[in-house]
Amino acid sequence: MAEKLYEDEWRAERTVMELRSLGQARVLASAAADVGMTRERVRRRRLRRLAMFLTPLTLWLMVRAAMNPTSGLSLPHVPAGAGPYLPAFFLVVLLGAAMIVPLAGAGRSPHVLYRPAEIDTRFGDVRGAEVVLEEVVKSLNLFLAHQTFADRMGGTPRRAILFEGPPGTGKTFMAKAMAAEAGVPFLFVSSSAFQSMYYGQTNRKIRSYFKALRRYARREGGAIGFIVEIDAIGATRAGLGNGGGREGVAGVVNELLVQLQSFDHPSGAARVRGWMIDWINSWLPAQRQLHKSASAPANVLVIGATNRAADLDPALLRPGRFDRAVFFDLPSRAGRRDIIDYYLARKAHDADLDDPARRDTLAAITFGYSPAMIEHLLDEALVWALRRGAERLSWTDLQQAKMTEEIGLPQPVEYTESERRTIATHESGHATVAWLVGRGRKLDVLSIIKRKEALGLLAHSEEEERFTRTRSEMDALVQIAFGGLVAEELFFGEHSSGVAGDLQAATTAVCQMVGSLGMGRSLVSAEALSGPGGSNVVAKVLSTDSGREEVEECLAQARARVHRMLEDHRHVIEALRDALLERDELIGEDILEVIQQAAAGPSAQAGAAGAGSVDAQGVEQEGQDEGLVPPGVIPA
């Protein structure tokens, strides 16, 4: 009777919830949603059962104490003469346990349980993914109000969501935030943890995991399961037949598919109760048989994370399973700026890093970085700060950390004087051409310090984030690649072997222009014949006489244009070269300061005349060698 009254009270409270609140971009209060109501109902039922169990036991102990006040508890009596056999007995028990326990535990669920209080991540900590966050919040509201959605609108609650995207984009971070905001248990598991050395135990672990999900969901009103790298157990079964006898392929996928439809499976107590009703009904006539109620589905939300969604079996993605895919893309420039603000607020840093322009620059030079990479970059900058004896990171530390992550640790070597001068001239030629044709770009680092295979480098970034390039920008890319070669020829009469990577980058760029981007004499795409991929396009273009002739013509024109350009700006190359020979490395404003001082000298008029003939467009370099290294690209 009390339970019936509570049911009526619970349903009356649920009607207060407005349906339109389910589509809002804020999380519902879990205590007022279906999850909280279910949790409270289960709590009261648990207290009633405990009282029903303890009351008779308490009465029995009270009666016994009243009838025999001297009675008490005593330890079990060991029979006489059994002492010598006890060690052997315990040894047998120990050996038996050593053989049985591993087998019995091999099928246990390998999940790690996180309670909401144990998770310190909230939606407020998710930065740079506003669109994803809004979709996740709406999906979470449907999870929290699943019964309202089903009863009042006739909808089927979503049971599984697929998080896909590059590594480090915040898939696990978001899943933990969902569990914390919902106030439900979070069962974290890695796909590799399901694998077992015993045949058949992988499927058994999957069954145990989903059984635990259903148990916690019925006990707490809801539960969220998170499977990392789900492609490891959900790879496509195409062409595998019955799995070829290999557990973990077809059989494991089949088990996963079945378990994703198991949320309405009855609990153990419900099965026992149903068995008893079936036994009683077998003795009763049809018109007097007891009613056997259906088991309510467990409120479970399974989240699978992967960066290889194309490898998943199609059956996993059909409606009713992982029917909603949320893509976690790399953050935009505004998103990176938001992430940088979030992490810098928690890390010790110099006051100049609070300058908005400085942070905008940091967001620009981290193009292609994931949130995890940005956090790691700031941590590496703190390490560089410690190495120089400081207690807070600076802009220089960030530059050093960025180059270390993308290119490698500095490896100072003893160049000969001629080599050092050649490398400095080579890099100065790159920087000069980038300054002339790369309007809208920032020169970040100019260095002649060896890192991995790069004897020197020029790192630069665009002031505005770009995703496409025009013909003039591609031409400028090729010209920047020729900057080092032409500078060596102007000052030494010949070029060194250090131009090999530059020539490869320039050739690749021109082949893409001619064979893939329609920027040559022909509009025929080489990719239509050779398939996608830069190397195939290069091979296809260079394999024909007409294509090779056009590539050589474009390269010759770019070299001639750069030659005229650097002839008019020798003074800029000399200034940068001398600064490099003196300091080994120039960072940010130091590069621009040297160039501006050289441009304001006696040769400024000649330099301005040469610059006027150059098509000044911003470009972003790709695939360079030691001559020119853009942000996020490792030199070949």
| Confidence bin at 614 (pLDDT 50/70/90) | very low
The angle subtended at Cα 162 by Cα 225 and Cα 120, nearest 5°, is: 50
d(CA 261, CA 273): 23
HEC per residue, 346-375: CCCECHHHHCHHHHHHHHHHCCCCCHHHHH
Closest C-alpha among 395, 373, 371 to residue 384: 395
CA atoms within 13 A on the CB side of 630: 20
d(CA 371, CA 360): 16
What's phi and psi for 496, nearest 5 deg? -95, 180
Q: What is the pLDDT at residue 23?
A: 60
Give the pair of three-digit tokens for residue 189: 């598991």
Q: Torsion angle, CA of 31/37/38/44, rounded to 10 degrees?
A: 100
Residue with the bigger pLDDT between 377 and 5: it is 377
| Confidence bin at 114 (pLDDT 50/70/90) | very high
pLDDT above 60: residue 631: no
d(CA 402, CA 390): 18
HEC per residue, 284-307: CCHHHCCCCCCCCCCCEEEEEEEC
- The answer to whether 514 and 527 have CB atoms below 8 angstroms apart is no
Q: Which CATH architecture has domain 417-611?
A: Up-down Bundle (1.20)
Lateral strand order in the sheet of 112-114: 112-114, 186-190, 223-228, 300-306, 160-164, 324-327
Residue with the bigger pLDDT between 179 and 408: it is 179
Q: What is the pLDDT at residue 524?
A: 83
Cβ neighbours of residue 163 closer than 8 Å, sequence gap 6 or more: 171, 174, 175, 303, 304, 305, 306, 326, 328
Cβ neighbourhood burial of 404 (10 Å; 0-12, 13-18, 19+): middle
Q: What is the pLDDT at residue 19?
A: 56
pLDDT in tens, 116-164: 889 988 998 999 888 899 999 988 988 888 888 888 888 888 889 999 9
How large a percentage of the chain has pLDDT more than 90?
25
pLDDT in tens, 332-388: 888 999 999 999 999 999 999 999 988 988 888 888 899 999 999 999 999 999 988
Mean pLDDT of the chain: 80
- The answer to whether 164 and 328 have CB atoms below 8 angstroms apart is yes
For the domain with range 2-61+106-235+252-265+297-327, which CATH number is right: 3.40.50.2000, 3.40.50.970, 3.40.980.10, 3.40.50.300? 3.40.50.300
pLDDT above 90: residue 84: no
Residue with the bigger pLDDT between 290 and 78: it is 290
pLDDT above 50: residue 616: no
Q: Taking the domains of the chain in order of start, what are their residue ranges?
A: 2-61+106-235+252-265+297-327, 333-406, 417-611
What's phi and psi for 300, nearest 5 deg? -115, 140
pLDDT above 50: residue 456: yes
Question: Which H or E element spans position 96?
Answer: helix 86-105
Cβ neighbours of residue 500 closer than 8 Å, sequence gap 6 or more: 625
Predicted TM-score (pTM) of this structure? 0.73
pLDDT above 70: residue 75: no
Q: What is the pLDDT at residue 163?
A: 94
pLDDT above 50: residue 634: no
Fold of domain 333-406: Helicase, Ruva Protein; domain 3 (1.10.8)
Residue with the bigger pLDDT between 527 and 483: it is 483
Span 54-63, average pLDDT: 78
pLDDT above 70: residue 43: yes
Span 448-464, average pLDDT: 79
| Residue found under tokens 């290119």 | 407
DSSP string covering 413-437: ----HHHHHHHHHHHHHHHHHHHHH
Please name the amino acid found at residue 183. G
